[in-house]
């Protein structure tokens, strides 16, 4: 919807949009009276993820089901999801909070035979590739060794003799943005 020109609006203007959604448009910018806590990342499960929101108004914590209801959008697949709170006694305000759904964390194992290292890992739900990294300074800095696809769960490589620390994470690219899992526990060899 676009409005051009100089218009005098009442305090609230009833508007109907092309997609059938209707509501009120205010001519004045205002800060929401609601404070919403942040939501962390959630590991992909293949099922709907429905985190609770922590919402306050005037310093009072609101109660889900009594003071507001929650709806969710895009809350199954890896990517950005949204939780929307609609308030029982305030039909004009809707508070939205985004959260990220990321691939599950892989479990990495490694064995060495001479200079040959063999890595195996559990499949990480929701990922398309993995990032395997190594460190030669006890885990202070890491370099990427390889990026195997999600269809693989093992990798073998020859490395120079020495002491290594390895770690792995899964990732998926959605709309040009990479969503990474948490790092696996490190493996020292």
Q: Which CATH architecture has domain 12-102?
A: Sandwich (2.60)
Q: How far apart are CA 49 and CA 69, in angstroms?
A: 16
Give domain 108-188's CATH superfamily: Immunoglobulins (2.60.40.10)
Q: How many CB atoms lie within 10 A of CB 75?
A: 19
Q: What is the per-residue pLDDT across 159-181, written as a single tens digit (0 to 9) for each?
A: 998 899 999 999 999 999 999 99
Q: How many CA atoms lie within 13 A of 50 on its CB side?
A: 8
pLDDT higher than threshold 90 for residue 3: no
Q: What is the per-residue pLDDT across 54-93, written as a single tens digit (0 to 9) for each?
A: 999 999 999 999 999 999 999 999 999 999 999 998 888 8
pLDDT higher than threshold 70 for residue 126: yes
pLDDT higher than threshold 80 for residue 104: yes
> For the chain, which residues make up each domain, given as ranges?
12-102, 108-188
pLDDT higher than threshold 70 for residue 189: yes
Instruction: Give the pLDDT band (50/70/90) at residue 29.
Output: low
Judge whether 12-102 and 108-188 match in fold: yes
Instruction: Give the pLDDT band (50/70/90) at residue 33.
Output: confident
Mapped to the 3 state alphabet, what secondary structure does the chain carry?
A: CCCCCCCCCCCEEEEECCCCCEEEEECCCCCCCEEECCCCCEECCCCCCCCCCCEEECCEECCECCCEEEEEECCCCCEEEEEEEEECCEEEEEEEEEEEEECCCCCEEEEEECCEEEEEECCCCCCCEEEEEEECCCCCCCEEEECCECCCCEEEEECCCCCCEEEEEEEEEECCEEEECCCCCCEEC
Cut 0.85: pTM above it: no
């Amino acid at each position: 919807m676009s409005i051009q020109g100089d218009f005098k609006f009442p305090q609230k203007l009833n508007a109907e949009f092309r997609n059938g959604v209707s509501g009120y448009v205010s001519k004045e910018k205002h800060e929401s009276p609601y404070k919403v806590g942040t939501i962390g990342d959630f590991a992909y499960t293949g099922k709907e993820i429905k985190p609770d929101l922590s919402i306050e108004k005037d310093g009072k914590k609101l109660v889900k089901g009594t003071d507001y209801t929650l709806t969710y959008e895009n809350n199954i697949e890896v990517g950005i999801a949204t939780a929307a709170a609609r308030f029982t006694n305030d039909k004009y305000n809707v508070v939205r909070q985004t959260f990220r759904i990321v691939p599950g964390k892989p479990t990495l194992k490694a064995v060495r035979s001479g200079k040959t290292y063999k890595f195996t890992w559990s499949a990480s739900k929701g990922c398309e590739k993995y990032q395997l990294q190594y460190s030669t300074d006890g885990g202070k800095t890491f370099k990427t060794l390889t990026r195997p696809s999600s269809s693989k769960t093992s990798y073998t490589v020859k490395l120079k003799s020495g002491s290594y620390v390895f770690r792995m994470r899964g990732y998926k690219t959605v709309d040009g943005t990479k969503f990474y899992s948490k790092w696996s526990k490190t493996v020292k060899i």
